Structure 1
Amino acid sequence: MAIYLVGDIQGCYDSLCVLLDMAAFNPQHDHLYVTGDLVARGPDSLATLRFMQELGEHGHTVLGNHDLHLLAVAKGIMRPKARDKIRAILDAPDREKLLQWLRHQPLLIHNETKNETASGFVITHAGIPPHWTVREAKQSARDVEAILHSDRYLWLLQNMYSDEPSMWSSSLEGIEYYRYTINAFTRMRFLTMSGNLDMACKLSPDKMSDENLVPWFAAKRRETIKETIIFGHWAALGGIFQNNFLGLDTGCVWGGSLTMVRWEDGQKFNLSCPV
């Protein structure tokens, strides 16, 4: 059995299949972990959803911002974004089964399995803010997931669209607490020097000139997280493979590449994607 970790697929199903063949992925024995954003801008989001759902206990994904947006669009809460290619999902005969499966995926996965060559890892779509320990991040994720899995999920989808609050506080309650958690896990890239989430800048750090902003993974942490933090979301980074951070979104949907890593030995598989 091997564990494979892949960045944002965004509906690039054919590219995913080629990459899995390159790695000799065995769906009966191996496990595939995705950093979220299964759907949206690529050519076949429907096939991607079906594939992940059919993997059963061998397929794992966290929710990304595009996945949550799909759930809101499906319920008429929001309109599809201009470049989204999700109509096939909305028209599919198995749409409710797929959307129900998607709604029950986590915001955070903590794999605590350790061996001689690999430590445990934590996956979220965008990352983990520096003021949260793994325990605190897991609790915040589970609190949001509990709402998503309940009959209150429509209320959450209706009220999650806002950049505020941008600053974490242990006194946050209700929708402000849930919204901050969703934004941190699915939309975060830069933080201000005072620790606020900045939702405007999507550039890579080397092209950003605002000295008041710092990438979330470069901010000073209150407590060191020993596990590797695996994330996607930030295609402009072109991937991060350093220290205990593993950024796997290398922009397949933008004509970049799809990147996958085998966890046990760190072997990287990379496929250039068509524009």
Structure 2
Amino acid sequence: MTDYAIGDIQGCYDRLRDVLAKVDFSPSRDRLWVAGDLINRGPSSLETLRYIEGLGNAAVVVLGNHDLHLLALALGGHSPKKKDTLHDILEAPDHDRLIQWLRQQSLMVRDDARNLVMAHAGLPHIWSLDQAEARAREVEAVIRGDQAREYFSQMYGNQPERWCDTLTGMDRWRVITNYFTRMRFIAQDGSLELATKESADNAPAGYAPWFTYSRPDNVRVIFGHWAALEGHTGHERFIGLDTGCVWGGALTLMNLDSGELIHCDCS
């Protein structure tokens, strides 16, 4: 069995199948770790979601901001954005099953045997690994439970911008969600700057890429979300797999055992 991790697919189903074919991926033998943003902006969100859901236990998935956006449309009363490509999912006959499956996915997965974590946007330096896992489980329980509609109706927003242990309710859940699914630039005190999407060299004053801060552990982190990095973090332990397929870049697959990177051109 081989485990592979893949960056943001964003509905690029044909390219997904192309890159998996390069390694002769078989769900009866292998597993696919998906670093979030399975869907949206690309041409085939429904086909992508059905395929990943159909992998069953051969898929290890974390939620990205676009995946949460679909749930916000389905459960939170929000309207689609102009560039969304989610209408096929929302109108599909198996819509309810796909939505319920997506709600069961994680914000963070942890593999202690590999000393590895996967989260869509990364892991903030202000949290230990145990703290991060506990906060991920907290919001996952909300998404899966009776408070899901309340959560998704109020999920959007940049406030609070910084974690505080005394936060409660929606403020607490929103900032946890933003760390796991929207973070790029962060300040030493944990304050998030969520407007800037450019490369790591273009940090706003007082902020830096989240992966440049020291951590008390040596965990490796797989993440997506930041296409402008083109996969380059400058740190071997921080593995960026979003290489901008939906923007004409590439779809990147990583062999978790050997570290080999396999690319599929999306231009």
Q: Same fold (TM over 0.5)?
A: yes
* Residues 167/76 of structure 1: CA separation in 2 closer, same or farther (3 Å cut): closer
* Structure 2 residue matching 1:82: 3-state secondary structure: coil
| Pair 1:245-2:238 in alignment | yes
Deviation by residue 1:123-175 (Cα, 9 ceiling, x = unmatched): 00001110111100000000001111111100110111110111111111111
Number of the residue aligned with 1:180: 175
| Pair 1:190-2:185 in alignment | yes
Q: Shift of residue 211 of structure 1?
A: 3.3
In structure 2, what is the Cα distance between the partners aligned to 1:2 and 1:216?
29
Amino acid at match of 1:92: A
Deviation by residue 1:80-100 (Cα, 9 ceiling, x = unmatched): 111111111011100000010
What TM-score, normalized to structure 1?
Answer: 0.94
Equivalent pair of 2:115/2:220 in contact (CA under 8 Å): yes
In structure 2, what is the Cα distance between the partners aligned to 1:75 and 1:145?
15
In structure 2, what is the Cα distance between the partners aligned to 1:28 and 1:210?
46
* Structure 1 residue matching 2:81: 3-state secondary structure: coil
List gaps (5 residues or longer) in structure 1. Answer: 114-118
In structure 2, what is the Cα distance between the partners aligned to 1:240 and 1:34?
18
* Structure 2 residue matching 1:24: 3-state secondary structure: coil
Give RMSD over aligned pairs: 1.2
Q: Shift of residue 75 of structure 1?
A: 3.0
Amino acid at match of 2:199: S
| Pair 1:215-2:217 in alignment | no
In structure 1, what is the Cα distance between the partners aligned to 2:203 and 2:67?
31
What TM-score, normalized to structure 2?
Answer: 0.96
Q: Shift of residue 193 of structure 1?
A: 4.3
Alignment of 1:139-154 (within 5 A): 139-154=134-149
Equivalent pair of 2:125/2:213 in contact (CA under 8 Å): yes
Equivalent pair of 2:161/2:175 in contact (CA under 8 Å): yes
Number of the residue aligned with 1:128: 123
Number of the residue aligned with 2:226: 234
Equivalent pair of 1:7/1:250 in contact (CA under 8 Å): yes
Amino acid at match of 2:190: G
List gaps (5 residues or longer) in structure 2. Answer: none
Amino acid at match of 2:124: P
In structure 2, what is the Cα distance between the partners aligned to 1:195 and 1:88?
38
In structure 2, what is the Cα distance between the partners aligned to 1:2 and 1:240?
24
Number of the residue aligned with 2:37: 37
Equivalent pair of 1:52/1:60 in contact (CA under 8 Å): no
Deviation by residue 1:186-224 (Cα, 9 ceiling, x = unmatched): 000001344310011100022x16332200111233x23
Amino acid at match of 2:208: V
Give the total of aligned pairs: 266
Q: Shift of residue 120 of structure 1?
A: 2.4
Question: Following TM superposition, where does structure 1 have runs of at least 4 consecutive aligned residues deviating by more than 2 angstroms?
Answer: 192-195, 240-243
* Residues 48/121 of structure 1: CA separation in 2 closer, same or farther (3 Å cut): same
Deviation by residue 1:220-244 (Cα, 9 ceiling, x = unmatched): 33x23x2210100000000036321
Equivalent pair of 2:222/2:241 in contact (CA under 8 Å): yes
Equivalent pair of 2:72/2:152 in contact (CA under 8 Å): yes
Alignment of 1:1-275 (within 5 A): 1-75=1-75, 77-113=77-113, 119-206=114-201, 208=202, 210-221=204-215, 223-224=216-217, 226-240=218-232, 242-274=235-267
* Structure 1 residue matching 2:186: 3-state secondary structure: strand
